Each structure stands twice: as C-alpha cells, then as structure tokens.
Amino acid sequence: MSILDQIVADKKIEVAQRKSLFPSSFWEASPLFERPTLSLTKRLQASPSGIIAEHKRRSPSKQNINSSLTVSEVAKGYEAAGVCGMSVLTDGKYFGGSLDDLILARSVTQFPLLRKEFIVDEYQLIEAKAHGADVILLIAAVLTRTAIQQLSTTAQQLGLEVLLEVHNLEELEKSLMPSLNLLGVNNRNLKTFEVSLDNSRNLAAQIPEEFVKISESGISDLDAIRDLKTYGYKGFLVGENFMKTADPGQAAAAFINALER
C-alpha cells in the first residue's frame, strides 16, 4: 500500500469518527457558515505574482518543516507580504495540521483560505465552510469522476471555490467538468515524492482556458515561476520554501518583491 493509499484509508476512518461526534447540523450552526466567501480565482487573475503561500508544519517526507511558529503569526505575515491566498493543511496524522489552524488563520486575515485536505466526503466540505475556508482541494488521484462531480457541485452550492489537483493526463481527462474553478498540477509524485516541474509544463496545453491554472510543489525560485507563466499558469503554490525559514511572511515578501521587479 502506497503512502497515499494509507492516508486515504486513515482519512475515511477519521471522517466516520468525526461524523459520529459532530453531525453536519452542528457545523451548519457555526457563525462562519453564513460568511460570504472570498474568490481566490479573482485574486489570482488580478495578481502580477500569483503566489499562494502555505502553512505546513511537516509532511510524510519531511518530519519537521517548521513547528515553532503559530498559524496566526504565519497567516498575518503572509497577508502583509501580499500573497493571493493561503493554503492551510488540516490533516493531523501526516501533516501536523488541524481545523483549528484554519479557524485561527481566518480570525486574523481577510484573504482567501484554502482547506488543503484529503477530501473523501461531503461532510468535509461543510466542515471547511464552518471553519472559514473559501476554497477546497479535490485530489483526482484519490477520487472517481463521479465523486469529483458530486463533491465539486456541493462545494460550489456552499459558495466554496474548487481547486482540482492532477498529476498526469489521465487524471486531467477524467476530471474536467464545469463545477471546477481552478486546475492545479502537482509537480510532486504522491507515491514516490519525486518532484519535477515538467509535470506542469507537459500538462499546460491540455488544460482548457476557462480554468485558472496553478502549479503546485517544488517551486522555489523566481526563474521557475517566470518560465511557468509562459505556459499560462496564473497561480503558484509555495509552501516549504517559505515555511522552512524563521519568518515565512518575510520570506514571502522578499520573494514577491523580487518577482514583481
């Protein structure tokens, strides 16, 4: 069993447990559930940099990226740096995150927040909305076309934007549908954890123009972003490159300033 398969198996158990403790109606009564959401799509379309910064303490491949800072500190730093939005890891077992991180980030910022999670159930969409998310991630590698359609349609009905992540042409072709807003190409192989920006380059021409294109993972230098922009990418998800520093917000600000010069 690959690490991805294990994560998804564990996630299904976790979601079942959470549903038994907190029914959907509990989250629907949250004050944040009726909050008007913010559009990451519009922010990216209007931005000269397209940077989406990430809060990530650790990952299966790196046991400690940065656990010394609070999510509130990181979120405020990113917003001051001028990023388009922030990705918040909410998986606890493998990434050290939680839904509390999402709500803490929401409490101190006014930019779009992405719940980065292994979503396998509509219940997680309701959780996301109740904790202040504006965008949700769907991973094509772990979902059928029917599941993608059901989850993305429900997300949009809740006012959430949908970022669909693919790793190859097969995943892309099975996933294209009107109920998506953003199309992300992950440069990291989730089975081997190897990273190659050729993933984004090779798939760029296959992504229809109506979707905002985002390149994810392994983006650490300005030249890479400048190159990917020529392939039509509007968004760039940068996590570890900022989080591995003592001050992620300052690192993001310096990066964006250099990119826009």
Instruction: Map out the domains of the chain as residue ranges.
Output: 3-260
What would the DSSP string read from start to end of 140-155? GGGS-HHHHHHHHHHH
Q: Would you state the pLDDT for residue 129?
A: 98
E strand segments, 20-112 = 51-55, 85-89
Q: What is the CA radius of gyration of the chain?
A: 17
Q: Would you state the pLDDT for residue 201?
A: 97
Element (H, E) at 113: strand 113-116
Q: Would you state the pLDDT for residue 64?
A: 74
Q: Would you state the pLDDT for residue 193?
A: 75
Domain 3-260 belongs to what topology? TIM Barrel (3.20.20)
pLDDT tens-digit series, residues 149-171: 999 999 999 999 999 999 999 99
Element (H, E) at 135: strand 135-139
Q: Would you state the pLDDT for residue 124?
A: 98
Q: Which residues are catalytic?
A: 54, 56, 116, 165, 186, 216-217
**Cα distance between residue 35 and residue 107, in whole Å:** 12
Q: Would you state the pLDDT for residue 208?
A: 96
Q: Would you state the pLDDT for residue 20?
A: 97
Q: Which two tokens stand for residue 189?
A: 């192989």
Question: Which regions in the chain score pLDDT beneath 70?
Answer: 63, 190-191
Q: How many angstroms separate the first and last alpha carbons of the chain?
A: 46
**Cα distance between residue 175 and residue 12, in whole Å:** 21
**Cα distance between residue 38 and residue 108, in whole Å:** 15
Q: Would you state the pLDDT for residue 66?
A: 78
If DSSP codes are grouped into helix, strand and coil, which group holds residue 139?
A: strand
